Amino acid sequence: MSMDEAAARALFATARVARLATVGADGRPHLVPIAFALDGDTLYTAVDHKPKRTTRLRRLENVAANPSVSVLADHYDEGDWSALWWVRADGVAGTVAPPEPRQARAVALLEARYEQYQRRPPSGPAIVVSISRWSGWRAADVGQGW
């Protein structure tokens, strides 16, 4: 019913967008869509510097307060629910800011994956997620929708 970790990871890697869930110190969840790059079981995403007031961006505050995060990629098809799938990556996140080498590494991987980042590299901190668990679901395997 659920797919194995290697299959889940491979499917996640095909997605161009994912959603990052963090949790605030108040216990409330926070969600944003992200562009991302994978390197093995490490996921990188970055923050543009302006005009999001990077220094107090909620996702960064949350990761500092509670490093547990979840990242979801999914596929929806209006006409064919048997084509639906999702993959979730659960792990622990940290933040790296310039001039830390891992921020440059994140930018390089993101530039390699997104043409838009080649034209305008993200200049803010990167979030680095060490993924400890991949899980996934495919409608075709179970014969129903979400």
Contact status: 132 vs a second copy (CB under 8 A): no
Which of 7, 10, 19, 41 touches a second copy (CB under 8 A)?
A: 19
Helices (H), the chain: 5-12, 58-65, 101-113, 115-119, 139-142
Backbone angles phi, psi at 77, to 5 degrees: -135, 110
Print the binding letters for residues 96-125 with a second copy: x by CB under 8 A, - otherwise.
--------------------xx--x-----
Min dist. Cβ of residue 145 to a second copy (A):
6
What distances in angstroms separate CA 62 from CA 44, 54, 78, 94, 130, one per listed residue? 16, 13, 34, 10, 16
Please identify, using beta-carbon distances, which residue of 97 and 101 lies nearer to a second copy. 97
Contact status: 69 vs a second copy (CB under 8 A): yes
Which of 13, 32, 97, 104 touches a second copy (CB under 8 A)?
A: 32
Query: Residue 101 class from Cβ within 10 Å (0-12 exposed, 13-18 middle, 19+ buried)?
Result: exposed
DSSP assignment letter at 2: B
Give the number of residues in contact with a second copy, rule: CB under 8 A.
40
- DSSP string for residues in 103-119: HHHHHHHHHHH-HHHHH
What residue has token string 């869509």? 33
Applying CB under 8 A, the span of 3-11, 44-52, 101-109 interacting with a second copy comes to: 44-52
- Binding footprint of a second copy on the chain (CB under 8 A): 1, 16-17, 19, 21-23, 27-35, 48, 50-51, 66, 68-72, 74, 76, 78, 81, 84, 86, 88, 90, 116-117, 120, 142, 144-146
